[in-house]
Amino acid sequence: MFEEAQYFAPVAANDDGTVEVQLAASHPGFADPVYRARRNAIAALAVGYVPGTPIPTAEYTEQEHEVWAIVSRELALKHRKYATAEYQRAVTRLGLPGDRIPQLQEVGDLLEPLTGFRYIPAAGLVPLRDFYGVLADGLFHSTQYIRHHSTPLYTPEPDVIHEVIGHANALASDRYAALYRLAGQAARRVESDEALEFVSKVFWFTLEFGVMTDDGELRAYGAGILSSYGEIEEFRGMDIRPLDLAAMGTTHYDITKYQDVLFRADSLAHLEDVVGGFWESCDDEAVLRLIAEGRQG
Ligand SMILES: [Fe+2]
C-alpha cells in the first residue's frame, strides 16, 4: 500500500478561486490562523502556476526566513559528518543561501547550468506518474511552504527545506542527477500501477532514504535523511540491509515515522550499477519477476 497521500495535507481549490490546505489537527500550525492563511496563499501560487512561465514569488516573512536560517545552519554541521562526499561537493557547487529561503525560480536558475534540472511548484501531492515522469525531463515538483516556526527542526510533511536542502543539493551532482532522470524514465516506461509503485519504492529507499559506505563510514545520500535534523542522527542505528531491488520494491514503509529499515550501497558506483541499471531498462515483466522474488525473500 503506497501511503504518500497521507504525507501531504490535502489541498482543496474552491469555486471562488481560493485554495484551502487541510492541515491535520496534529500539525504544529493547525491552531495558528496566520500560518493557515500563509499556507493557503502559497498553495494558491502553485495551483495558478502555468508551466513554462516564471515561478510565482512566495513573499516569505522574516520569521519564515529565520526558520530556514536555523535549520540550514544545523543541517550543514551534520552534513559534514553524515553526508556522502558527493553530496557535500554538490552543496558547495550549488551554493544555496543560508540566511533566507531561496525562491524556487532561483533554485532552478542555480541548478540548470549544472545538471539541467529546474523546479516547478506543487501545492501538495502530485500523482506518482507525473511526479516521477517529469524527472526524465529534468523537472522536479516542489512544495514552496515552510514548516511552522514553533518547531523549526520538525515537519510532518515535505516542506521547502526538504525539497531544496535535501533534493536540490543532490540534484547539483551530475551522478545523482543522472539517477533521478533514470527513475523518471523508468516511471514513464512501466505501464501497470503495480510496476510504477515498485519503481517509486526503489526511489524511496535510495534517493529519499539511501545510505552507502563512503570513505569507510556509513553516510547518507537520501534527501529524506539529509533534510531531517532528527533522522540524520539516528540512521546509523537503524536496521541496515544490503542494497537489494526486490526487497526495496516490496518492503512496507511508514512515512509518518523514522525509517527503521534502510538499504546500504557499497559505493556510488554500486548504486549506479544496481539501481541505475534497473531504472535504465526495467519493464513491467522485469518488475513482476522482482515482486515475486521479493515476496519469497
Ligand atoms: Fe522528497
Residues sharing a CB contact under 8 Å with residue 99, sequence separation 6 or more, in sequence order: 65, 68, 69, 72
Calculate the average pLDDT of the chain: 93
Residue-level pLDDT at 6: 52
For this structure, is 86 an active site residue? no
Residue-level pLDDT at 221: 98
The answer to whether position 119 is within a domain reads yes
Residues sharing a CB contact under 8 Å with residue 171, sequence separation 6 or more, in sequence order: 90, 111, 115, 117, 140, 177, 180
**Angstrom distance (rounded) from CA 196 to CA 2:** 11
Catalytic residue, chosen from 162, 173, 197, 231, is 162
Q: How many domains does the chain have?
A: 1
For this structure, is 208 an active site residue? yes
The answer to whether position 45 is within a domain reads yes
Query: Rounded mean pLDDT of 108-124?
Result: 96
For this structure, is 167 an active site residue? yes
Give the helix, strand, coil percentages of the chain, each rounded to 5: 55, 10, 35
Q: How far is CA 131 from CA 120, 139, 184, in A?
A: 10, 9, 8
The answer to whether position 209 is within a domain reads yes
Is the pLDDT at 235 greater than 50, yes or no?
Answer: yes
Q: Is 162 annotated as a binding residue?
A: yes
For this structure, is 74 an active site residue? no
Q: Looking at residue 76, which CATH number applies to its domain?
A: 1.10.800.10
Say how many Å lie between the CA of residue 241 and the centre of ligand 1: 21
Residue pair 204/250 in contact by the 8 Å Cβ criterion: no
Tell me the angle at which helices 104-115 and 85-94 cross, rounded to the nearest 10 degrees: 120
pTM (two decimals): 0.95
Residue-level pLDDT at 125: 85
Q: Residue 50's closest CA among 139, 116, 121?
A: 121
Catalytic residue, chosen from 72, 142, 173, 227, is 227
The answer to whether position 157 is within a domain reads yes
Catalytic residue, chosen from 141, 148, 167, 231, is 167
Q: Is 149 annotated as a binding residue?
A: no
The answer to whether position 3 is within a domain reads no
Q: Is 208 annotated as a binding residue?
A: yes
Say how many Å lie between the CA of residue 15 and the centre of ligand 1: 30
Query: Rounded mean pLDDT of 98-126?
Result: 96
Domain, as residue range, for 222: 11-296
The answer to whether position 1 is within a domain reads no
The answer to whether position 2 is within a domain reads no
Say how many Å lie between the CA of residue 281 and the centre of ligand 1: 23
Assigned C-alpha cell, 218: 556509513
Residue pair 122/162 in contact by the 8 Å Cβ criterion: no
Residue-level pLDDT at 2: 36
Is the pLDDT at 64 greater than 70, yes or no?
Answer: yes
Say how many Å lie between the CA of residue 222 and the centre of ligand 1: 9
The answer to whether position 275 is within a domain reads yes
Q: How far is CA 71 from CA 66, 112, 158, 241, 243, in A?
A: 9, 25, 14, 29, 30
Band of pLDDT at residue 1, cut at 50, 70 and 90: very low
Catalytic residue, chosen from 64, 163, 197, 208, is 208
Is the pLDDT at 257 greater than 60, yes or no?
Answer: yes
Is the pLDDT at 95 greater than 70, yes or no?
Answer: yes
Say how many Å lie between the CA of residue 66 and the centre of ligand 1: 22
Residue pair 196/190 in contact by the 8 Å Cβ criterion: yes
